[in-house]
Amino acid sequence: MFFAENFVSLTVEEQWDYIIAHTPDRIRHGLGEIVRRNGRTCVANFYEALLNRPDAAVFLERDMVERRLTGSLLAWLERLFPMRETDMPGLRALQEKVGSVHAQLEISPNLVSYGFYFIKMSINLLIGEYFETKDDQLQAVIYCQSMVDFAMTYMNKAYNTDFRKKVEQDQSFKMFSLGQDLNFEKETQKTTFFDWSTQALFCLCEQRLGDLQTVAESQFGLWMTHKGQTLFKGTEDFVLLGDLIDTIDRRIVAVRGGAAALDGFPAELRNGIRDVTFLTNRLFQAMEALQSGLDPLTRTLTRRFLDVVIQNEIAFSLTHDKVFSIVLLDVDHFKKINDANGHLAGDEALRHVAEIILDTVRSNDFVFRYGGEEFLIVLTESSGAEAVACAERIRSRLENSVIPCSTGSTLSLTISGGIATFRGGLKISTLIDRADRALYAAKDAGRNRIEIYDRAA
């Protein structure tokens, strides 16, 4: 099989179609026969390879593999190497469905790719026994590699899309990514839109049509275009609001340029102002219902947003070949602080800890109150060594600080921490469990110290 000169310029879909169309029937039929005879062995090699990897074993149990997964993977393999002509739209749709399932189960593409390597190697070894000539063996190997690799391409595309959807659909997290007070923003934007509408009506009354300002040019419009886009993106009301503003602005541009008659415009503008006000209020009301995501004592994020933040970082890590780390911190002997000084002093101590953490991390990192006296930090684009350095700065600052209490007394405390780094192939729960195990190692080693999972495992 020879590739066309323009093969590299074809779309992925066209390349896959080309490979199938230009592979002789005897080669495709032979691979179909190999899979029919030996598919179970290939599938067994796939799962045996994954079960022997600690980062994959968290997704798999041998009993589940034998009862459910083996049959599903065998059916997939037989569909990929059929004995008859391939239904390409159906085949591509199947790969996208598999990729979406992997995203839901948090099984990263690099793990699937690792398992597919053993399927390809199993088939390649059988190719040498089935085909007699070197030329047929070479064509069969190329066809086998191509079919599995193109399937993986479609799986990866669906996997990444599904991960992104999970993050984009969580509108509540977008609110906190702004770092703004929602009530303040609501009142501010109501005021700026009122100012714009008042000015527009004055221009109409005084026949100063050339001075009419579009909504998009106003402070309200600029806020909606930028910060509002982040806050409300994906909601139906935000789409309606955007369409409504566009309609108003097109009419304003036509009127102030003299290209449209003024008849009926004041009523249109009044109705438009009413509708924009209504939609804006409804958008903010929807967000207000989700404003319980900040811990009232420490002003850090609550655990409610933990999964969506880590999912976002996993998606970014996989698509940009980056690592990130999490730090789990626990105040040492916190119960003794409460017992000796009272719960009010304990609350003041936790606020102090949170302030130091927030002051130490970067603006692109995320800090959560994970438990009573536990904090979890997501350090974006940070290696294990960088996470250790950050955690040590927090630990040292707390150890050397004095906490003034409302009673007039002072407190001192220390903190212990555990670190885990995401490098692919981990579920959220597994990543946090590793940080927790490292934290326990720090406690067992005497407290007031930081441990990383690689050393603590």
How many Å apart are CA 328 and CA 373, to the nearest integer? 11
- Looking only at the bridges linking them, the beta strands covering 415-422 and 410-411 are unpaired
Q: Which two tokens stand for residue 86?
A: 């391939």
In this prediction, residue 456 carries a pLDDT of: 41
Mean per-residue pLDDT, 300-321: 82
CB 32 within 8 A of CB 82: yes
Inform me whether the pLDDT recorded for 16 exceeds 50: yes
Mean per-residue pLDDT, 310-320: 81
Percent residues over pLDDT 90 in the chain = 40
**Across the chain, how many H-helices and E-strands are there?**
20, 7
- Out of 328-332, 374-378, 426-430, which region has the weakest mean confidence (pLDDT)? 426-430
Q: Which residue has the tokens 């085949």?
A: 91
Instruction: Tell me the three state secondary structure of residue 384.
Output: helix
Inform me whether the pLDDT recorded for 443 exceeds 90: yes
Q: Which residue has the tokens 């590739």?
A: 3
Of 424 and 434, more confident: 434
CATH classification code of 7-168:
1.10.490.10
DSSP 180-193: --HHHHHHHHHHHH
How many Å apart are CA 265 and CA 269, to the nearest integer? 6
Q: Which two tokens stand for residue 453?
A: 């999972």
Mean per-residue pLDDT, 213-234: 84
DSSP 55-110: HHHTT--HHHIIIIIHHHHHHHHHHHS-SS---HHHHHHHHHHHHHHHHHHT--HH
CB 319 within 8 A of CB 377: no
Mean per-residue pLDDT, 49-55: 78
Map out the domains of the chain as residue ranges: 7-168, 176-291, 303-456
CB 317 within 8 A of CB 324: yes
pLDDT, tens digit (0-9, with 9 covering 90-100), for 355-413: 999 999 987 888 999 988 999 999 999 999 999 999 999 999 999 999 888 777 888 99
The whole model's pTM is what? Answer: 0.47
- Looking only at the bridges linking them, the beta strands covering 450-452 and 415-422 are parallel
- Out of 73-87, 99-113, 157-171, 328-342, which region has the weakest mean confidence (pLDDT)? 157-171
Percent residues over pLDDT 70 in the chain = 86
Residues 6+ apart with CB under 8 A from 410: 402, 403, 404
Helices (H), 224-375: 229-232, 236-256, 265-288, 306-320, 334-341, 343-360
Buried b (16+ CB within 10 A) or exposed e, 273-306: bebbeebbeebbebbeebeeebbeebebbbebbb
Please choose, from the candidates 370, 348, 366, the residue with its C-alpha nearest in 3D space to the C-alpha of residue 357. 366
Of 122 and 226, more confident: 122
Inform me whether the pLDDT recorded for 345 exceeds 90: no
Phi, psi angles (nearest 5°) of residue 407: -80, -10
Give Dmax over CA atoms of the chain in angstroms: 92
Helices (H), 371-451: 384-399, 428-444
> Other CB atoms closer than 10 Å to residue 145's CB: what's the count?
14
CATH classification code of 303-456:
3.30.70.270
> Other CB atoms closer than 10 Å to residue 147's CB: what's the count?
23
Mean pLDDT of the chain: 84
Torsion of CA 350, 352, 353, 354, to 10 degrees: 90
The DSSP symbol for 301 reads B
Inform me whether the pLDDT recorded for 207 exceeds 50: yes
CB 354 within 8 A of CB 394: no
In this prediction, residue 163 carries a pLDDT of: 59
